[in-house]
Amino acid sequence: MLQSNLYPTADLRAADARHYLHPFTDHKALAEEGARVIVKGDGVWLWDSEGNKLLDGMSGLWCTNVGHGRPEIADAVHAQMGELAFYNSFFKTTNAPAVRLAERLAAIAPAHINKVFFTSSGSEANDTVLRMVRHYWALKGQPNRQIVIARHNAYHGSTMAGASLGGMKPMHAQGGLPIPGIVHIRQPYWFGEGHGMAHDAFGLQAAADLERMIRTLGPENVAAFIGEPIQGAGGVIIPPATYWPEIQRICRKYDILLAADEVICGFGRTGRWFGSDYFGIEPDLMTIAKGVTSGYLPLGGVMVSDKVADVLVNLGEEFYHGYTYSGHPTCAAAALANLDIIQREGLVERVANDIGPYLQGRWKTLADHPIVGETRMVGLIGALELVPDPKNISNRFTPTGAVGSIARDYAFQTGLVMRAVRDSLIIAPPLTLTHAEADELVRLARQTLDLTY
Ligand code: PLP
């Protein structure tokens, strides 16, 4: 019997409304509608407590790269818990799964990255970046290099530093953000802000904002630039090919550290191990989470290049930073089992050469729908821009972004989990998606568009 079936759905919903404060949720709307209770996952499929079957087009929350319900991960977690469920890595102690995971991550990362600092989440990883880059410059005798440059509409997490590095206006409006020492430049959002320019020219123009900002602030005050290779929560913003190489060139010119937030793009999502590989850049730091365990247990980290690690290790006084669960042995065991699956099943290559191109081709067919303004996808991460009137460029967006959430709700009704961002629908299905499941995903997406139109 499923654990959740021990409780009738109506009881769960009532208790949920009474006691559970959900993340990023309008609780009044939730109380009216009642929460959907998810009870089971298998591969790309989910079931709710009322027996509805849903295609999980979002991999949970960009997490379950190997799909739901993999017994190998459950077995590895069970075995590790039986031996050593938890111990910390503070005060000169370590544990085998964390060490083996660090070694494994170094092997799949670009050659210049060989160390990792573990956290429990992507937010903590980005907090760590903020402190680490400032500490790095202080150790190098340039303590004025404090400012981190990030981008509007970026998402780097929900902690004070994560939400400040992020560029989400509604988040900044609550709780007095951003914290000092963080500034934002424009995003490389061609569909929304490119005004018909050629993609490549627009990519260079968006990147030039970084150089302008560095000059305004004075390079001697800037510690780092941070960005997601593809902005996920911002709406799957895929930058033109010119963008990231130009950002890297500018960072190098002014000796500014480059941090890539790989929390979504990492672990095969783009058809390469990391989004940085896909765009051909070599960041000084990469943050990871989500796909590293496929979300089976919480684990994140900062992957640190030799250039930065050498300073932290050799010049370093102690870095007064860490989390109780940094290097949690059971979470590390889950990550190792997850990486075993990704490698054994060749999922990264599969996204590059098989299911990625297949779904991209099918996804493009949705462009003929009258409500679709643009389709885009890299690897298995994509978006549909919905437009009230695709022919009229000045009427690209509805004032409230309401079309996206209406379409998202229709998608649920048809049996497909997509996410709405403004007037767009986004997907990032498990990397195990079959061709038949890809066909079904696109069929359900078209049905959703028909209902929304
Ligand atoms: N960075 C990116 C790019 C993300 O998409 C997210 C979460 O969606 C985070 C950081 C924050 O990760 P977490 O929710 O694990 O703290």
Token representation of residue 98: 């964390």
pLDDT of residue 394: 56
178 & 200 share domain:
yes
ipTM here: 0.99
pLDDT of residue 402: 73
Token representation of residue 349: 């290559």
Strand partners, 197: none
For the stretch 68-108, pLDDT in tens is 999 999 999 999 999 999 999 999 999 999 999 999 999 99
For the stretch 198-219, pLDDT in tens is 999 999 999 999 999 999 999 9
Q: Say how far residue 256 (Cα) sits from the centre of its chain.
A: 23
For the stretch 295-344, pLDDT in tens is 999 999 999 999 999 999 998 789 999 999 999 999 999 999 999 999 99
Is the pLDDT score of 221 beyond 80?
A: yes
**Residue ranges in 194-298 assigned as alpha helix (H):** 199-217, 243-253, 275-279
Report, as an integer, the average pLDDT of 121-142: 98
Contact between residue 190 and residue 202 where contact means Cβ atoms under 8 Å apart: yes
Pairing of strands 147-151, 222-227: parallel
Q: Which amino acid is at 217?
A: L
For the stretch 409-448, pLDDT in tens is 999 999 999 999 988 999 999 999 999 999 999 999 999 9
Residue 1 lies in a domain: no
Is the pLDDT score of 64 beyond 80?
A: yes
Contact between residue 444 and residue 414 where contact means Cβ atoms under 8 Å apart: yes
pLDDT of residue 273: 98
Residue 26 lies in a domain: no
Whole-number average pLDDT of the chain: 95
Does residue 264 line the site of ligand 1, with CB under 6 A?
Answer: yes
Report, as an integer, the average pLDDT of 255-261: 99
| Cβ contacts of 110 within 8 Å, gap of 6 or more | 274, 276, 277, 282
Does residue 284 line the site of ligand 1, with CB under 6 A?
Answer: no
pLDDT of residue 392: 58
Q: How far is the CA of 339 from the centre of ligand 1 (A)?
A: 19
387 & 266 share domain:
no
54 & 165 share domain:
no
Q: How confident is the model at residue 395 (pLDDT cuts 50, 70, 90)?
A: low
Does residue 239 line the site of ligand 1, with CB under 6 A?
Answer: no
Is the pLDDT score of 263 beyond 90?
A: yes
Residue 375 sits at the vertex; the CA angle it makes with 365 and 286, to the nearest 5 degrees, is 130
What is the count of structural domains for the chain?
Answer: 2
Atom of ligand 1 nearest to the CA of 154: 3
The DSSP line for 298-339 is: --EEEEEEHHHHHIIIII--------TTTT-HHHHHHHHHHH
92 & 239 share domain:
yes
Q: How far is the CA of 158 from the centre of ligand 1 (A)?
A: 8
Instruction: Give the residue among 210, 209, 130 at the shortest CA–CA distance from 163.
Output: 130
Residue 2 lies in a domain: no
CATH number at residue 263: 3.40.640.10
Final residue in a domain of this structure, among 344, 360, 395: 344
323 & 440 share domain:
no
Is the pLDDT score of 33 beyond 90?
A: no
The DSSP line for 20-53 is: ---TT--HHHHHHH----EEEEEBTEEEETTS-E
235 & 366 share domain:
no
Locate tokens 């696109």: which residue?
Answer: 442
Residue 185 lies in a domain: yes
The sheet carrying 147-151 orders its strands as: 113-119, 300-305, 285-288, 257-261, 222-227, 147-151, 182-185
**Residue ranges in 85-118 assigned as alpha helix (H):** 96-108
Does residue 155 line the site of ligand 1, with CB under 6 A?
Answer: yes
Return the percentage of the chain with pLDDT > 90, whole number.
Answer: 90
pLDDT of residue 254: 98
Contact between residue 226 and residue 261 where contact means Cβ atoms under 8 Å apart: yes
Residue 14 lies in a domain: no
Q: How far is the CA of 162 from the centre of ligand 1 (A)?
A: 8
397 & 268 share domain:
no
Q: How far is the CA of 393 from the centre of ligand 1 (A)?
A: 32
Q: Output the residue whose Cα is nearest ligand 1's atom 13.
A: 122
309 & 354 share domain:
no
53 & 84 share domain:
no
Q: How confident is the model at residue 196 (pLDDT cuts 50, 70, 90)?
A: confident
The SS3 of residue 439 is: helix
Residue 372, φ and ψ in degrees, nearest 5? -100, 125
Residue 23 lies in a domain: no
What range defines the domain where residue 192 resides? 72-344
329 & 394 share domain:
no
Distance CA 167, CA 132 (A): 20
**DSSP secondary structure code for residue 108 in this structure:** H
Token representation of residue 17: 């409304």
Final residue in a domain of this structure, among 296, 312, 344: 344
pLDDT of residue 399: 55
Locate tokens 């402190």: which residue?
Answer: 131
Residue 408 lies in a domain: yes
Q: Output the residue whose Cα is nearest ligand 1's atom 12.
A: 122
- In what helix (H) or strand (E) does residue 358 lie, and over which residues does it extend? helix 355-364
For the stretch 134-172, pLDDT in tens is 999 999 999 999 999 999 999 999 999 999 999 999 999
- Counting Cβ atoms within 10 Å, is residue 318 exposed (0-12), middle (13-18) or buried (19+)? exposed
42 & 121 share domain:
no
- Output 314-320 pairs: Cβ under 8 A, ≥24 positions apart: 315/139, 315/140, 316/135, 316/139, 317/139, 319/131, 319/132, 319/135
Q: How far is the CA of 263 from the centre of ligand 1 (A)?
A: 6
CATH number at residue 384: 3.90.1150.10
Final residue in a domain of this structure, among 316, 344, 372: 344
Distance CA 225, CA 7 (A): 48
pLDDT of residue 360: 98
The SS3 of residue 169 is: helix
CA-atom Rg of the chain in angstroms: 22
316 & 224 share domain:
yes
Residue 324 lies in a domain: yes
Q: How confident is the model at residue 284 (pLDDT cuts 50, 70, 90)?
A: very high
Distance CA 47, CA 248 (A): 44
Is the pLDDT score of 388 beyond 90?
A: no
